[in-house]
Amino acid sequence: MSAASDRREAWRASWAVGLAVSAYGVSFGALAVASGLDVWQACVLSAVMFSGGSQFALIGVLAAGGASAGPAAIAGATLLGLRNGLYAIRVSPIVGPGWAKRLLAGHLTIDESTAVATAQPTLEGQRIGFWATGAIIWIGWNLMTFAGALVGDLLGDVSAYGLDAAAAAAFLGLVWPRLRALQPIAVAVGAAVVAAVAIPALPPGLPVLVAALVAVVVGVPNLLGRPAELPVVHHDEMPAAPDAGESDR
């Protein structure tokens, strides 16, 4: 492939993924308001936290437990954000040196920008993929969050519109592309069982954190996994863009 067609391909992927993910910001905005946040709190989460899974986790715990579940909500959102730190290590050489550039890149380091960048064959394409995808999603995600929060504010009782079910489906969509091997499927099933057992026993937010231990129990000894000598965070091991990947096909 020529350099020009590599660049075109990187831009095409960035727009396809970016627009699809941005549209989904509407549901975050609406669900955030349904969970008891005001419009500005929803917007701050999208602007500063800027990581879909963590944002949904936070509002989910706040919806169930209110502000008193705050520490559990923070812990859940932070744990879900851990993977972004791994992505940062992965895309760091793509971003290159310069602290200001790296600071900005850090903010844009999410599932989708990492997935699009690492899918490109050349360094130039990877740079375009990372920055274009990150920037398009940041702008689109924030605009759509604001729109969704305004709409959610007008709706009132959200269960009549099925928004609670939409939140569950959103989590399902985030985990679905990751369930392509026995090990993650086993962890998903185990965590689901632990969470169901823990819900009546523990305060809101804690069942999710206890269920996360399933990942440690399975992951550290590599139960049901492939041999450990495989490099883990390389291109085809990188989880596909969780939502965009679905609509991109």
Partner 1 sequence: MTVWQVIIVASIAVLAIKLLGYLVPERLLQTPTAARTANLTTVALLSALIVVQTVGAGQGLQLDARLPAVVVAAGLFAIRTPFIVIIIAAALVAAGLRALGWAA
Site for partner 1 in 149-178 (CB under 8 A): 159-176, 178
Among 14, 109, 120, 145, the residue binding partner 1 under the rule CB under 8 A is 109
Residue 68 binding partner 1, by CB under 8 A: yes
User: Hey, which residues between 171 and 230 contact partner 1 (CB under 8 A)?
Assistant: 171-176, 178-179, 183-184, 187-192, 194-196, 199-200, 202-204, 207-208, 211-216, 218-220, 222, 225, 228-230
End-to-end CA distance of the chain: 22
Only one of the segments 7-15, 88-96, 117-125, 145-153 lies at the binding site for partner 1 (rule: CB under 8 A); that segment is 88-96
Q: Which is nearer to partner 1, 107 or 235 (CB)?
A: 107
Instruction: Report how many residues bind partner 1 under the rule CB under 8 A.
Output: 111
Least distance to partner 1 from the beta carbon of 1, Å?
A: 26
Residue 96 binding partner 1, by CB under 8 A: no
Q: Which is nearer to partner 1, 4 or 172 (CB)?
A: 172
Q: Which is nearer to partner 1, 128 or 212 (CB)?
A: 212
Residue 24 binding partner 1, by CB under 8 A: yes
Residue 15 binding partner 1, by CB under 8 A: no
Write the binding mask 27 to 66 for partner 1: x where contact by CB under 8 A, - elsewhere: x--------xx---x--xx--xxxx-xx-xxx-x-x-x--
**DSSP-assigned letters across all residues of the chain:** --HHHHHHHHHHHHHHHHHHHHHHHHHHHHHHHHTT--HHHHHHIIIII--HHHHHHHHHHHHHH-GGGHHHHHHHHHHHHHHHHHHHHHHHHHH-S-HHHHHHHHHT-SHHHHHHHHT-SSHHHHHHHHHHHHHHHHHHHHHHHHHHHHHHHHH--SGGGTHHHHHHHHHHHHHGGG--SHHHHHHHHHHHHHHHHHTTTS-TTHHHHHHHHHHHHHHTTTTT---TTS-SSSGGGSPPPTTHHHHH-
